[in-house]
Amino acid sequence: MSKVTCHMSMSVDGFVAGPHQSLENPLGIGGPLLHEWHFDPMHEDDLAWRDSLLAPKGAYIMGRNMFGPIRGEWDDDWRGWWGDEPPYHAPVFVLTHHAREPIEMQGGTTFYFVDGFEAAFEQARAIAGDKEIDIAGGASTVRQALNAGVINELVVDVAPVVLGSGESIFAGITDVKLEQIEVAHSPFATHIRYRVG
């Protein structure tokens, strides 16, 4: 069976997005600071972790808030934040209660719209073969995956940033066991890989 991974940039205080997420601030106030470690100019010690983030996967699962700011019925003009060629290059299962036809993008990304984490995960399993399934985010989708007990490996990139409040992938999670299996760092982030039990 394919490995299920999750790789999140996080503040020192445990948030993957800042407060007050909006169309203007999709990552919340201060949220973009979490991602500076994988922007240019990049430190050589961060390269392997950026590459792991962008490595080919068999499928992704993503929350609707991560796909776009639209609530309720779909606006068919919205095709994600990433332009014509999103960086996924694989099937992406977007969690939503509102049905929508799949959207085939350039570069191998196809967005499928599925009602419920369990259904999305079954479809991702079926299509991923022996390749990784990645839980792309946001926080609520990662929490669903942790509660479902399906994540095998979690990487957090701890940025030297304090947000004070925001979205946590662990809020209310009490029964997840972590085993720390790898640590590396540049001046811009501390990367920690955990096996999830």
Q: Which residues contact 103 (CB under 8 A, 6 or more apart)?
A: 79, 80, 110, 111
User: Cβ 50 to a second copy, closest distance in Å?
Assistant: 17
User: Cβ 118 to a second copy, closest distance in Å?
Assistant: 22
Token readout for 35 is 């991602």
**In this complex, which beta carbon is closest to a second copy, that of residue 110 or of residue 147?**
147
**In this complex, which beta carbon is closest to a second copy, that of residue 85 or of residue 182?**
182
**In this complex, which beta carbon is closest to a second copy, that of residue 105 or of residue 158?**
158
Q: Which residues contact 162 (CB under 8 A, 6 or more apart)?
A: 11, 12, 13
- Phi/psi class of residue 12: alpha, beta or left (left: φ > 0; alpha: ψ in -120 to 50)? alpha
User: Cβ 120 to a second copy, closest distance in Å?
Assistant: 23
Inter-axis angle of helices 117-128 and 139-148, nearest 10 = 80
**In this complex, which beta carbon is closest to a second copy, that of residue 123 or of residue 190?**
190
* Contact footprint for a second copy (CB under 8 A): 11-15, 30, 156, 158, 160-165, 168-174, 176, 178-180, 183, 185, 187-190, 192, 194
Measured CA to CA, the distance from residue 184 to residue 13 in angstroms comes to 19
**In this complex, which beta carbon is closest to a second copy, that of residue 14 or of residue 68?**
14
Residue 106: C-alpha distances to residues 91, 116, 129, 134 (Å): 12, 26, 22, 20
User: Cβ 111 to a second copy, closest distance in Å?
Assistant: 30
Structure-token match 């079926």, residue found: 126
Measured CA to CA, the distance from residue 92 to residue 58 in angstroms comes to 9
Sequence length of the chain is 197
**In this complex, which beta carbon is closest to a second copy, that of residue 99 or of residue 171?**
171
